[in-house]
């Protein structure tokens, strides 16, 4: 697959001023709300330490916890399946459905099923799939992937949704009142839930001790999908495990506060066993996770609870939009997850960062996100994955920095050139700095010249 050009995709996003400005403002608002709810919890730093430690403990004992989870889930009456990759996951879902003659599936939001590209797989086999989360439904109707892991349609404005619903749901395309639009989605989705043969959810946490899992949502759609149809399928990444039920509290207390700045999601639902007369299927999915576990520099990314706080705080994400990452996961967490799936395709992503470390600072499970971004840059260079311009520039810079005399000559010449060169020579495609801003005015002399003149102690 071809290499994602994040910078190019971002420049298209930025070109639309209204969308870009709103996107930036909305996500920064979520970051500020997160700060406010965090400040209400005096033990927040302790919770972060605990969450990180619980996750690292679980990951270092993952095989035994997976086995314990499976045994307990089976004892609860659930069916447990294992999927090596997205393809196997999709096949398992399709088999469960077709064995029961089910052709309609309602699902709640799950990044894992996005990873597996489940929807087109099922649709090719004659199974209709309906996303029930509002943002995810908007994205499904618009034939776009989610642009954010918590708020999938955050890059859209109300007018976009009005036009889309007018076309797809037959609502009044001229009415862009969010209350009206949400009501349209509610009315259109409800009969689909009532008529569905099966419901599907992801899971935020899977508990080894109880063989159960917890789903955190706000709209009530996941509970409807899981409790109205007679068949519930839950897809769970193997990194979602935590050892004991009491550990759940640490994560639940931080998840929604980190994500959208609310103390808890409207619904925190614990599924342990199938309802009488219904079936519960759990699919444990690897899809690259066991390999990531073995990467010394990157295994800690498996601690991620998908809150999106790193995205909301990231200046590059806020100004470039999630779709520009060309991947299931965007923002800082996407930068460190995506290359584990395809290093070449996502080789540009580690440069979509200022390395300011804000992502690491807000992460509730203390993933060293910006350090991992830096390490990915190094790996990309080592594997010759740098684009030509960057590679050449780095090579020349490296040589100059290694040779003080050549460096001084070049600086003097460059300063003079910056002052006198015409714009069309300065602002070329090789000058990334000058794309959206003016090149700074160069000083009258170099620091070295100034130092020699004023301090007079030459080395």
Residue of the chain from 133, 358, 360, 363 that contacts another protein (CB under 8 A): 133
Q: Indicate the helix (H) or strand (E) that contains 379.
A: helix 369-382
**Tokens standing for 13?**
């996003």
Nearer CB in complex with another protein: 135/332: 135
Separation CA 52–CA 368 (nearest Å):
11
Q: Is 83 in the site for another protein (CB under 8 A)?
A: yes
Measured distance CA(250)–CA(318) in Å, rounded:
28
208 makes contact with another protein (CB under 8 A): no
What is each CA distance from 132 to 201, 202, 224, 267, in whole angstroms? 10, 13, 9, 15
* SS3 assignment, position 100: coil
Binding segment for another protein (CB under 8 A), chosen from 81-89, 93-101, 360-368, 429-437, is: 81-89
Does residue 227 bind another protein (CB under 8 A)?
Answer: yes
CB closer to another protein, 249 vs 406: 249
Mapped onto helix, strand or coil, the DSSP state of residue 298 is coil
Rounded alpha-carbon distances, angstroms, from residue 125 to 85, 95, 119: 19, 10, 10
- Which tokens in the block code for residue 389? 């311009």
Looking at beta carbons only, is 150 or 386 nearer to another protein? 150
- Taking CB under 8 A as the criterion, the residue among 264, 343, 400, 411 binding another protein is 264
Tell me which residues in 391-430 interact with another protein (CB under 8 A): none
In this structure, the number of other CB atoms found within 10 A of the CB of residue 285 comes to 26
Task: Check if the beta carbon of residue 33 is closer than 8 Å to that of residue 263.
Answer: no
Q: Which of 140, 147, 204, 221 binds another protein (CB under 8 A)?
A: 221
Report the nearest approach of another protein to the CB of residue 26 (Å). 5
Q: Does 363 bind another protein (CB under 8 A)?
A: no
Nearer to another protein, 106 or 386 (CB): 106
Considering the complex, state which of residue 270 and residue 409 has its C-beta at the smaller distance from another protein: 270
Binding mask 276-295 for another protein (x = CB under 8 A): --------x-x---xx-xx-
Q: Does 218 bind another protein (CB under 8 A)?
A: yes
Kindly identify the residues of this chain, within the stretch 170-199, that bind another protein according to CB under 8 A.
178-179, 181-183, 186, 189-190, 193-194
* Residue 178 exposure: Cα atoms within 13 Å on the Cβ side: 6
Distance CA 37, CA 39 (A): 5
Structure tokens at 152: 């999938």
* Residues forming beta bridges with residue 234, ordered by sequence position: 201, 282
Report the C-alpha gap between 186 and 130 in whole angstroms.
13
Instruction: Tell which positions 135-154 bind another protein, by CB under 8 A.
Output: 135, 138, 151-154
Q: How many residues touch another protein (CB under 8 A)?
A: 90
Of the two residues 4 and 241, which places its CB atom closer to another protein in the complex?
241
Q: Which residues contact 364 (CB under 8 A, 6 or more apart)?
A: 47, 48, 51, 251, 254, 255, 257, 258, 305, 307, 309
Q: Does 266 bind another protein (CB under 8 A)?
A: yes
Q: Is 19 in the site for another protein (CB under 8 A)?
A: no
For residue 192, the surrounding DSSP H or E stretch is helix 178-195
Instruction: Compute the distance between CA of residue 191 and CA of residue 146 in angstroms, rounded to an integer.
Output: 24
Cβ nearer to another protein, comparing 6 with 318: 318
- Cβ-in-10-Å burial (0-12, 13-18, 19+) of 318 comes to buried
Work out whether 309 is an interface residue with another protein (CB under 8 A): no
Question: Under the criterion CB under 8 A, does residue 368 sit at the interface with another protein?
Answer: no
CA nearest 150: which of 324, 310, 19? 310
**Nearer to another protein among residue 6 and residue 257 (C-beta):** 257
Of 4, 149, 234, 250, the one binding another protein by CB under 8 A: 250
Cα three-residue angle 112-114-116, rounded to 5 degrees: 75
Given 263, 398, 404, 443, the residue binding another protein (CB under 8 A): 263
Q: In terms of CB distance, is 249 or 432 closer to another protein?
A: 249
Residues 43-72 that bind another protein (CB under 8 A): 43, 46, 49-50, 53-54, 56-57, 59-63, 66-67
Least separation, in Å, of the C-beta of 97 and another protein?
A: 19
Give me the 84-113 binding string for another protein, x by CB under 8 A, dash otherwise. x---x-------------------------
């Amino acid at each position: 697959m071809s290499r994602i050009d994040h910078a190019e995709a971002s420049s298209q996003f930025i070109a639309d001023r209204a969308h870009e400005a709103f996107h930036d403002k909305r996500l920064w608002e979520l970051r500020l709300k997160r700060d406010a709810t965090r400040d209400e919890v005096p033990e927040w730093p302790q919770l972060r330490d605990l969450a990180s430690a619980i996750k690292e403990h679980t990951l270092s004992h993952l095989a035994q916890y997976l086995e314990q989870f499976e045994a307990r889930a089976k004892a609860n009456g659930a069916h447990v399946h294992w999927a090596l990759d997205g393809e196997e996951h999709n096949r398992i879902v399709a088999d469960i459905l077709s064995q029961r003659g089910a052709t309609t599936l309602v699902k709640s939001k799950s990044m894992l099923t996005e990873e597996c590209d489940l929807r087109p797989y099922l649709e090719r086999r004659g199974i209709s799939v309906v996303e029930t989360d509002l943002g995810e439904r908007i994205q499904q109707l618009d034939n776009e992937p989610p642009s954010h892991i918590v708020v999938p349609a955050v890059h859209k404005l109300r007018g976009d949704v009005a036009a889309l619903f007018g076309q797809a749901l037959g609502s009044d395309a001229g009415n862009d009142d969010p209350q009206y639009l949400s009501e349209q989605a509610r009315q259109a989705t409800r009969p689909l839930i009532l008529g569905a043969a099966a419901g599907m959810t992801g899971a935020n946490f899977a508990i080894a001790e109880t063989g159960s899992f917890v789903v955190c949502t706000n709209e009530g759609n996941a509970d409807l999908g899981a409790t109205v149809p007679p068949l519930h399928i839950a897809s769970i990444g193997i990194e979602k495990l935590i050892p004991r039920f009491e550990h759940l509290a640490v994560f639940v207390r931080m998840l929604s506060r980190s994500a959208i700045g609310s103390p808890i999601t409207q619904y925190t639902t614990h599924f342990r066993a199938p309802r009488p007369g219904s079936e519960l299927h759990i699919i444990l999915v690897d899809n690259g996770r066991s390999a990531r576990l073995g990467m010394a520099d990157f295994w800690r990314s498996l601690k991620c609870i998908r809150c999106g706080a790193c995205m909301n705080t990231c200046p590059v994400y806020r100004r470039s939009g999630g779709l520009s990452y060309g991947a299931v996961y965007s923002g800082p967490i996407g930068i460190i997850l995506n290359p584990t799936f395809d290093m070449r395709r996502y080789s540009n992503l580690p440069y979509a960062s200022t390395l300011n470390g804000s992502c690491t600072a807000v992460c509730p499970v203390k993933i060293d996100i910006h350090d991992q971004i830096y390490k990915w840059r190094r790996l990309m260079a080592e594997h010759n994955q740098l684009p030509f311009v960057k590679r050449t520039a780095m090579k020349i810079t490296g040589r100059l920095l290694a040779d003080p005399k050549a460096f001084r000559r070049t600086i003097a010449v460059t300063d003079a050139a910056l002052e006198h060169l015409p714009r069309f020579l300065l602002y070329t495609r090789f000058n990334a700095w000058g794309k959206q801003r003016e090149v700074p005015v160069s000083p009258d002399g170099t620091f070295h010249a100034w130092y020699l003149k004023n301090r007079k102690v030459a080395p």
